[in-house]
Each structure stands twice: as structure tokens, then as C-alpha cells.
Amino acid sequence: MAVGWLIAAIWLFVLALVLACCRVSGESHDQWEQDYTPPPPTAKPLSEETTIHQQEVGPAYLYDDVVELAKIMQAEAGVDWPDWAVMCIGEVVLNRVSSSEFPNSIHDVLHQVDPVQYAPVHESSWNDLEPDEDYIALARRLLDGERVLHNPDVIWQALFPQGERTVMTYHDKILDTTTYFCE
């Protein structure tokens, strides 16, 4: 029982540290628009039903989509996660956006209730969380079409197996937790 409390205390400390250290300046949006290079035409487009669509001018997705995807990846990733594992979190979100079982936008998938799907979104600290540039870059890679799981049926991610089949797991050695990515 004491180990459980210790893990919870460490997790809260890490979350507080992330919130304190990971601030993006107010100029990030403008800099992102200046630096953005659209994906090549060979990038696999997401479902037409999503809010991620080709606009007449500019990127193939909205800046708010990038920020929200980066925020959930940062909030859900453990302590020692490599980029590919963090991208799996974002890929599950995008798979849900494309699935008829879930809402059809990143915002709506993240804010889904009954039952709550992503707990960090419903915490008071969510609105103040500003993802660091590494998570922004990972979100942009996903939105540009890069994939790790390469399986659109992976729509579950949790600390326990769920759905029909576990496709991949990642074990956080520091927190001693295993995250399951399932169909």
C-alpha cells in the first residue's frame, strides 16, 4: 500500500515539475506559422470527417489541433518515454478521431465524457498547460502523417489491457507502470 502512495506522490511531483518547466512563449503560434512547411502530397490524409482538413491557404490542420494533441501527449506520457512511445499516445487520439465510435475532432475526443476518456483534460491545470517544443514537434509529425503503430484500429490506451487485443505496451521503468495500446 505504501508503494502505491509513493508512486502517486512521484507522479504528482513529476506532473507539477512538467507544468512548472514546460511553458511555451506567447509567440509560439506566430513562430509556428512562419516556420511551418506543409506536408508533402504523399502524406496520408486523415478522414474527411475531422477538423483536420486542407484549408485554402496554410497548413493541413489547425494550430489548436497541434497544441491540444501535444498537450495530451505531454500529460499522458510517463517519465522516461522515448519519442516513438509518446507518438503512440497521439496516434490513439487520431485513430479515435477517424473512428465512427468516437467524436470526429481532436478537441471533442479529448473532452469526451460519460465516461471520461482523458482525465488530464478535466483537471484545472489543463488550461494552463503549455506543451514544450518537443511535444509540439511530435504532434506536427503525427498530423503530417507519420505513424508508429500503423494500425487505425488501436483506439485504447490505458494502464491495463482493454478492447480486443493488445498491440503494443510500453513500460515506464521510473514509475514502474505499463501502458497498453489496444484494438
Let me know if residue 142 belongs to a domain.
yes
Answer whether residue 18 shows pLDDT above 70: no
Let me know if residue 31 belongs to a domain.
no
Let me know if residue 113 belongs to a domain.
yes
- pLDDT, position 181: 97
Per residue in 119-157, pLDDT (tens digit) is 999 998 999 999 999 999 999 999 999 999 999 999 999
Let me know if residue 171 belongs to a domain.
yes
Give the span between the Cα atoms of 137 and 132, in whole angstroms: 9
Let me know if residue 37 belongs to a domain.
no
Strand order in the sheet with 177-182: 156-158, 177-182, 166-172
Let me know if residue 35 belongs to a domain.
no
- pLDDT, position 2: 61
Q: Which domain holds residue 114?
A: 2-22+54-182
Let me know if residue 46 belongs to a domain.
no
Question: Can you give the pTM of this predicted structure?
Answer: 0.69
What is the residue-averaged pLDDT of the chain?
A: 78
- pLDDT, position 42: 35
Let me know if residue 13 belongs to a domain.
yes
Average pLDDT of the residues in 49-54: 37
Domains contained in the chain, number: 1
- Which grid cell is 25? 512563449
Give the span between the Cα atoms of 117 and 176, in whole angstroms: 22
